[in-house]
C-alpha cells in the first residue's frame, strides 16, 4: 500500500515538465523530492507494517483483493453487521452464507459471483452458524439463528422447509438438558425487563443422519441433536455438555464441526477446541493452542484444521485476530490478516477454507473471512512460495515447521 503510493507519486514527479530551471537544478530538485518520497514510504511501512504474505510453513497466505471486492454492492450497507459464517455444498463447491438484514446468499465456486436466494423474511435474521448437508439423497441447508432461538431447514433455492424451535425438555437422554429446557419454558419477566434467551443457538453441523447444534450464548450451554422423523426434524435423543469448567462442559460452545466421524466444539471462552465422539464421549482437547485465543469456529482444509480467534491475542502487539492452521496434533501456522493491510478486520467471527480448481487440474486454497464488530468480508489466497512471517508476540514450540 505504501509502496504503491510512493510509486505513483514518484511517477508523477518524473513526468512533470521542466520549467524555468537548468537541467542540473532540475535534477537536484528531483533527487531531493525522490528522497522525500523514500522517507515517506519508509515511514508508512513502519506505521502500518504491511506485508504481502502472512503465515508459516505450508500455510502462507496473501490478501486476494479482487475476490474480496466481489461482495455484492447492494449488501455493502449490511457488511458492518456481519455475524455469521460459511459452509459449502461438497458436490458443487457452492458456498452459502447469511448477511444480517440482507439475506441468504450463495457464492459461486470461483468466489466471483454472489446471488441472494429466497424471499422469506426469516432469512434476513442473523445466521450465526450454517451447514450444508446431504440427507437421504437431498441437499439442504441448516442455519442457527441465535437471536430468534431457532434453526431453519432450507432448500437450496432458499425456501424455508422447517423451523426447529427451542427444545421443551424430555427429548434427550441427558437429565441436565431436559431439566434446563423444561424449567425455562415457564420463566417470565416483569414488564420492562428483558428475558434471558434460553436457546441462543450459535452453530449447527451434520453427521450420520443427525443435526448437532450448540447454544453457547445462554446458560443452556449444551450440544443437542435432532433427527428426521416422518419428514420432520425433531429434537433428541443425544445431548451433552452444559456450562462449567469440568471435563465435557463448556464456557460458550460457539462453533461445532463434524470431521472424520467426530464432533469438534470451539469452546470459546476456554480457548479450547474439544473433540467428542458422535455420541458425546469426550476424546481430547486439541493441543498447542495459545491461551486467550477465544477460538470461535473450526473447519477443515485438505491437510489441516482452520480456526480463528475472536480478537487479537491478549498481551501481544498483534493488530487483528489470528487464523490458525492446526494439524490436530500441533499448531502449524499463525495467519494474521492485519499484517496484510486489510482494513476493519480486528475481530474475526468465522473462517472457511475453500478450493478453486485451475485449468490444469491444480487446486488453490482460499480462506473466506467474516469479521465481527464493524464487520468485514475478506478472502485470503494460499501462496506456496510466499515469504513466511513471524508470529506476532507470543511464544510457540521451537521445533521446525
Task: Please report whether residue 398 resides in a domain.
Answer: no
pLDDT value of residue 34: 73
Task: Please report whether residue 369 resides in a domain.
Answer: yes
Q: What is the DSSP letter of 84?
A: -
Q: What is the DSSP letter of 54?
A: E
Grid cell 512471517 in the structure block, residue: 389
Query: What confidence tier does 19 reach under pLDDT thresholds 50, 70, 90?
Result: very low
The set of cell numbers assigned to 251 is: 464456557
pLDDT value of residue 12: 42
pLDDT digits (tens, 9 = 90+) for 376-399: 999 999 999 999 998 876 555 444
Q: Are residues 32 and 78 in the same domain?
A: no
Q: Are residues 280 and 267 in the same domain?
A: yes
Q: Are residues 210 and 323 in the same domain?
A: yes
Least confident of 9-18, 219-228, 321-330, 356-365: 9-18
Domain count, the chain: 2
Task: Please report whether residue 396 resides in a domain.
Answer: no
pLDDT digits (tens, 9 = 90+) for 156-173: 999 999 999 999 999 999
Residues 240 and 212: their CA atoms lie apart, in Å, by 11
Q: What is the dihedral of CA 283, 257, 64, 340, to 10 degrees?
A: -50
pLDDT value of residue 395: 54
Task: Please report whether residue 362 resides in a domain.
Answer: yes
Q: Are residues 297 and 344 in the same domain?
A: yes
pLDDT value at 46 more than 80: no
pLDDT value at 15 more than 60: no
Higher pLDDT, 318 or 257: 257
pLDDT value of residue 26: 74
SS3 content of the chain, % helix, strand, coil (to 5): 20, 40, 45
pLDDT value of residue 235: 98
Task: Please report whether residue 326 resides in a domain.
Answer: yes
% of residues, the chain, pLDDT over 70: 86
Task: Please report whether residue 7 resides in a domain.
Answer: yes
Residues 387 and 389: their CA atoms lie apart, in Å, by 7
Higher pLDDT, 375 or 4: 375
Task: Please report whether residue 389 resides in a domain.
Answer: no
pLDDT digits (tens, 9 = 90+) for 244-267: 999 999 999 999 999 999 999 999
Chain mean pLDDT for the chain = 89
Contact 119, 154 (CB under 8 A): no
Contact 53, 346 (CB under 8 A): no
Task: Please report whether residue 399 resides in a domain.
Answer: no
* Domain CATH code at residue 169: 2.120.10.30
pLDDT digits (tens, 9 = 90+) for 84-140: 999 999 999 999 999 999 999 999 999 999 999 999 999 999 999 999 999 999 999
Q: Are residues 36 and 84 in the same domain?
A: no
pLDDT value at 16 more than 60: no
Least confident of 34-43, 224-233, 240-249, 363-372: 34-43
Q: Which domain holds residue 3?
A: 1-13+24-48
Amino acid at each position: 500500500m505504501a509502496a504503491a503510493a510512493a510509486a505513483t507519486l514518484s511517477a508523477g514527479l518524473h513526468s512533470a515538465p521542466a520549467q524555468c530551471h537548468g537541467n542540473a537544478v532540475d535534477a537536484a530538485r528531483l533527487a531531493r523530492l525522490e528522497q522525500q518520497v523514500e522517507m515517506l514510504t519508509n515511514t508508512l511501512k513502519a506505521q502500518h507494517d504491511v506485508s504481502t504474505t502472512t503465515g508459516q510453513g505450508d500455510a502462507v497466505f496473501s490478501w486476494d483483493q479482487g475476490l474480496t471486492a466481489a461482495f455484492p454492492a447492494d449488501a455493502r450497507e449490511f457488511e458492518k453487521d456481519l455475524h455469521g459464517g460459511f459452509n459449502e455444498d461438497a458436490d458443487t463447491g457452492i458456498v452459502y452464507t447469511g448477511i444480517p438484514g440482507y439475506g441468504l446468499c450463495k457464492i459461486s465456486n470461483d468466489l466471483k459471483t454472489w446471488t441472494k436466494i429466497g424471499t422469506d423474511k426469516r432469512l434476513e435474521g442473523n445466521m450465526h452458524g450454517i451447514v450444508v448437508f446431504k440427507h437421504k439423497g437431498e441437499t439442504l441447508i441448516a442455519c442457527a439463528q441465535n437471536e430468534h432461538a431457532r434453526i431453519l431447514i432450507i432448500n437450496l433455492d432458499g425456501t424455508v422447509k422447517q423451523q426447529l424451535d427451542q427444545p421443551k425438555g424430555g427429548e434427550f437422554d441427558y437429565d441436565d438438558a431436559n431439566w434446563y429446557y423444561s424449567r425455562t419454558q415457564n420463566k417470565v419477566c416483569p414488564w420492562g425487563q428483558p428475558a434471558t434467551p434460553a436457546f441462543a443457538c450459535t452453530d449447527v453441523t451434520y453427521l450420520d443422519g443427525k443435526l448437532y447444534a450448540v447454544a453457547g450464548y445462554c446458560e443452556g450451554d449444551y450440544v443437542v441433536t435432532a433427527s428426521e422423523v416422518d419428514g420432520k426434524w425433531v429434537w433428541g435423543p443425544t445431548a451433552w455438555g452444559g456450562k462449567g469448567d469440568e471435563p465435557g462442559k463448556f464456557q460458550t460452545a460457539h462453533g461445532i464441526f463434524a470431521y472424520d466421524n467426530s464432533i469438534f466444539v470451539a469452546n470459546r471462552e476456554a480457548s479450547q477446541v474439544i473433540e467428542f465422539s458422535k455420541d458425546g464421549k469426550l476424546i481430547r482437547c486439541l493441543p498447542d493452542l495459545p491461551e486467550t485465543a477465544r477460538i470461535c469456529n473450526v473447519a477443515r482444509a485438505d491437510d489441516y484444521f482452520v480456526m480463528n480467534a475472536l480478537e487479537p491475542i491478549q498481551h501481544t502487539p498483534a493488530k487483528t485476530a489470528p487464523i490458525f492452521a492446526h494439524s490436530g496434533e500441533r499448531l502449524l501456522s499463525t495467519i494474521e490478516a492485519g499484517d496484510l493491510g486489510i482494513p476493519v478486520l480486528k475481530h474475526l467471527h468465522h473462517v472457511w477454507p475453500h478450493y478453486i480448481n485451475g485449468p490444469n487440474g491444480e487446486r488453490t486454497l482460499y480462506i473466506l473471512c467474516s469479521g465481527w464488530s464493524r464487520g468485514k468480508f475478506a478472502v485470503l489466497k494460499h501462496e506456496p512460495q510466499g515469504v513466511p512471517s513471524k508470529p506476532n508476540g507470543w511464544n510457540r514450540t521451537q521445533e521446525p515447521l
